[in-house]
Structure formats: structure tokens, C-alpha cells
Amino acid sequence: MDEIAAIHSANLCNEIRTRGSGLAKNAVSARDVAALAGVSRAAVSRCFTPGASISAETRAKILKAADQLGYQVNRLASGLIRNETGLVALIASDIATPYRSELLAALTEALQQAGKVALVINTDRSDDSVEHALRQAISYRTDAAVFLSGMPARSLAETCLKNGMRLVLINRDEERPGSLRLRLQDAEAGRRAVAILIAAGCRRLALASSAADTPSLTERASGFREAARAAGIDWIEERRGATCYETGQELGLSLLARPDRPDGIFCTTDLMACGVMDAARWRLGLRIPQDVSLIGFDDIAQAHWDSYALTTFRQPIDRIAARAVAWLSATAAPEDPAETLFEPALVMRGSVARIAPPDPGGIRPSDDGRR
């Protein structure tokens, strides 16, 4: 009897594989597993449902049959039955930049650990194609969306909410019912940057930023201006271009080639700060920090390279990702908008001249360890 059963099992496996070889869409089904294991279709469903009641003997038979056939659970189909798919759309611009790619990596890892799947939508241009991509994500019954930046347009966030998606807004300034907003104390970082530069002996300050009016960049610049006015320090300010390394080079050449060049610069992102530093050293022959001190923001990987050794403010990327995924994993979203504020940690490196004690800004440097 055992030999006959083995032959029958082998024949059934071959039949299923042959049937599926002609058309890729004929994947192995739960019904096929049930037939090979000699159990009901419902038993197969219980076997692959966490917490469902099933005997150890039946589970073993089903798992053996599933392994023989190469069966994979259709999570999308089972999710639709429960009215949740586990799909989360990550909507971001400038995904090739170091900060954004680090945040995407942290979010996708945290989502995977929570049993969810990320769909990345690149919004380098907020146009009709972006909205089309978002509507495609919605058509797959995406449970939630995470907006990683000031782009895209607010109307797309509204589209998500109207389709019953939960919403996480990172570094955005709008409040929406049933959403979570994650923000940094950006203005405070701008104020602290002024205090650090003054403590380092700088008297001609500059603020370097891009032309992007994202809430985070705007707040950092606002805090810088406020602190400089309060300290009675004049400053130069330049805003231009995209938020990128090349813009930093242009800003560095413009600011540091002038007769009254600044001796302390706060760049609203690390990537621009790296561009300013390279323009200063390789195009203008200036020394850092002897001739000019620089502070950035983000603590990207390049910031701790020996060639930059950039003093900066570290974004708590892992904590941001963990908070977003924990909120999305909760059973129900609150009706009122929620908000979490994070404090960026100061990381002191070699791009700022020595700081004379006492520190007037109450600066609390962190160690130089990476997150």
C-alpha cells in the first residue's frame, strides 16, 4: 500500500507540474496541495494561517506536500479577504541621494520585519505620471502610504486618504485626520549651528541652501536666521538650485570667492556641505577648518569619511522608521492626526574649528558612532 501511495503521489506531482508548465499563470494552488496531502482545502488554509487550529499530523502532511509541489501562499489574495494586503507605498523624491536611500533602506527593512511589503514610487517630478503610479498602487489595495519628503503635491496625499489608506508624513507640514506626522526639530538645529560657529570663533556667518522650499529646509534656515539676529551677527545667505552636491559646489564658489568671505557656513544638508567643502579646498585653495568652518545636516555616510570629517546633525533614521511601522501595524488609526518630534543629534568632527569653552549654545555633542 505504501508503494502504491508513493506512485500515486508521484503521478499527481507530475500531473500538476505538467499542467503548470504550459502556462505560467497556472501556479500550484492550495487545492493541489490538499489533493496531494489527502486533506481538505480548508485544512490547507488553516495550516498557513497563524494561530489557526490544526493537528500536528495534518500540518506535517500539508507542509510535506507543499514542499514537494513548491507551493507558495498567495498573500495578496488572503489579504484581500481580510481587507488588508500588507502593501505599503513609499512615496519619495530624490531617492538616489544618500539620506533618502538610507531612509528607504530603513523603512523597507522595518516593513519586512513587520510582515509587510513596500512599493516604492519615485516622485522626482510631481506630474501626471506620478499620480498614475500612485493610482496603480491603490489598485493593488495598498493599505498605507509613507510620504518621505515635501514632494509630491498635497493632492496625492488626499487621494490616498480618500481611498482608505493610512498615511505617514515624514518632514511635511500638513496635518490630516487619521495620519501620523514625523518631524525633526529643524529650527532648533539651525539655532544650534549658529551657537557652534560663534563658539568656534567665527564672526562672518553664511547660510547655504537650495531653492527647494521643503518644510525641513525652511525650518533649518529660519532657526539659523533667528539665532544670528539674536546674537547680533550679520550673515550672508544664498539659496539656489536643487538640493544636491553640484549646488553645494556653486554655493561654495559664490560665497567663498567674495572679498568679505564668511568664516563659518551652515549648509542645510550634508550633500551640499560636501560640495561647498570641495569647492573651498580644490577650487579656491582654502583650508578647513582653519579658513572656514562648515556644518551640515543629515549625517550621511560621506560625512564621516576622512576626506570630509563633517560636523553635522544626525537624523535618527532607525527611530523614524520604527515609529512609522509601529503606527502602521496598530490595529486602527486614530481619527485625530498624531505627531512625533525627533531631536537631531549633533556629531562633532573636524570641519569646525576648536570650540572655546564654555559652550554658549548648550551644545550636547554625540559620539561619532554610526546609527
Instruction: Let me know if residue 371 belongs to a domain.
Output: no
Residues 8-30, mean pLDDT to the nearest whole number:
55
Residues 305-334, mean pLDDT to the nearest whole number:
90
Give which of 230, 299, 221 is closest to 265, Cα–Cα: 221
Residues 301-312, mean pLDDT to the nearest whole number:
96
Instruction: Let me know if residue 81 belongs to a domain.
Output: no
Instruction: Let me know if residue 60 belongs to a domain.
Output: yes
Q: Is the pLDDT of residue 194 over 50?
A: yes
Q: What is the CATH number of the domain that holds 258?
A: 3.40.50.2300
Q: Both 301 and 156 in a single domain?
A: no
Q: Are 360 and 195 in contact (CB under 8 A)?
A: yes
Give which of 273, 262, 196, 268 is closest to 227, Cα–Cα: 196
User: What is the Cα–Cα distance from 95 to 97, expressed in whole angstroms?
Assistant: 6
Instruction: Let me know if residue 80 belongs to a domain.
Output: no
Q: Is the pLDDT of residue 2 over 70?
A: no
Give which of 94, 154, 98, 156 is closest to 123, Cα–Cα: 94
Q: Both 128 and 27 in a single domain?
A: no
Instruction: Let me know if residue 91 belongs to a domain.
Output: yes
Instruction: Let me know if residue 194 belongs to a domain.
Output: yes
Q: Is the pLDDT of residue 119 over 80?
A: yes
* Residue 149: CA count within 13 A, CB half-sphere: 24
Q: Over pLDDT 90: what percentage of the chain? A: 47
Task: Give the count of beta carbons closer than 10 Å to the beta carbon of residue 83.
Answer: 9
Work out the widest C-alpha separation in the chain, in whole angstroms. 97
Most confident of 18-22, 161-165, 238-242, 332-336: 238-242
What cell numbers appear for 226 in the block? Answer: 533667528
Q: Both 202 and 303 in a single domain?
A: yes
- Model's pTM, two decimal places? 0.76
Burial of 290 (0-12, 13-18, 19+ CB in 10 A): exposed
Per-residue pLDDT at 277: 98
Per-residue pLDDT at 7: 42
Q: What is the CATH number of the domain that holds 34?
A: 1.10.260
Q: Are 181 and 320 in contact (CB under 8 A)?
A: no
Q: Both 207 and 296 in a single domain?
A: yes
Average pLDDT, the chain: 82
What cell numbers appear for 211 in the block? Answer: 531653492
Q: Both 270 and 194 in a single domain?
A: yes
Q: Is the pLDDT of residue 82 over 90?
A: no
Q: Both 111 and 248 in a single domain?
A: no
Instruction: Let me know if residue 340 belongs to a domain.
Output: no
Q: List, as one string, the DSSP characters of 311-344.
A: BEEE--HHHHHHHHHHHHHSSS--SS-EEEEEPP
Q: Is the pLDDT of residue 75 over 60?
A: no
Q: Both 282 and 361 in a single domain?
A: yes
Could you tell me the residue range of the domain that residue 140 belongs to?
86-183+318-335
Could you tell me the pLDDT band of residue 284, with boundaries at 50, 70 and 90? very high
Q: Is the pLDDT of residue 22 over 50?
A: no
Q: Both 106 and 158 in a single domain?
A: yes
Domain tally for the chain? 3
Q: Both 7 and 41 in a single domain?
A: yes
Q: Both 216 and 243 in a single domain?
A: yes
Task: Give the count of beta carbons closer than 10 Å to the beta carbon of residue 67.
Answer: 10
More confident residue, 73 or 242: 242
